[in-house]
Amino acid sequence: MHCFNHHDREAVGSCKACAKGLCPECLVDLETGLSCKGPHEEIVKSYAAILSFNSRTIAGAPKNFYLPAIFTAVMGSLFMWYGYSQYNGIQNILFAMGAVFFIYACVLFVRTRAIYSGNRA
């Protein structure tokens, strides 16, 4: 492959933003990727920033995905407790709603755990 700007020179790399082949005179090594001198340096830097942010977000995702299951379990427990204590038994709508929320929280927890334990292998 030849340099996009200098057709008589061999390309040593390609710009991460535009994928043009470049010779050593036309490219800049930004430690996170190669870029055309000038026009695409900021774009390649922003790509690196986006990738870094996404890596940190994905690393924290398994912890954050358990929060909805925990919240739903707590709310279900509160509904069941309130329905049982205020209406003397489990045969009322509040207790039933709480039980549905609690069961859903258990299913959500098990599914989330299965998804993230599969990604770790």
76 found inside a domain: yes
Tell me the two tokens of residue 42. Answer: 């900021």
Indicate whether 79 belongs to any domain: yes
Q: What is the pLDDT of residue 105?
A: 96
Taking the C-alpha atoms of residue 106 and residue 16, their distance in angstroms, rounded to an integer, is 45
- Decide if 3 is inside a domain: no
Helix (H) or strand (E) holding 72: helix 41-87
Q: Does any domain span residue 23? A: no
Query: Could you tell me if residue 14 is inside a domain?
Result: no
Q: Name the domain count of the chain.
A: 1
Q: Tell me the C-alpha to C-alpha distance, in Å, between residue 116 and each of 7, 8, 110.
A: 50, 51, 10
Residue 24 lies in a domain: no
pLDDT tens column, 20-75:
999 999 999 988 889 998 888 899 999 989 998 988 888 877 677 788 999 999 99
Instruction: Say yes or no to pLDDT of 121 above 50.
Output: no
Q: What is the pTM of this model?
A: 0.52
* Integer Cα distance of 14 and 36 in angstroms: 8
- Secondary structure (DSSP) of 34-59: EEETTTTHHHHHHHHHHHHHHHHHHH
Please give the residue range of the domain that contains residue 115.
60-120
Is 46 part of any domain? no
Residue 81 is predicted with a pLDDT of 92
What per-residue confidence (pLDDT) applies to 3?
92
Residue 27 in domain: no
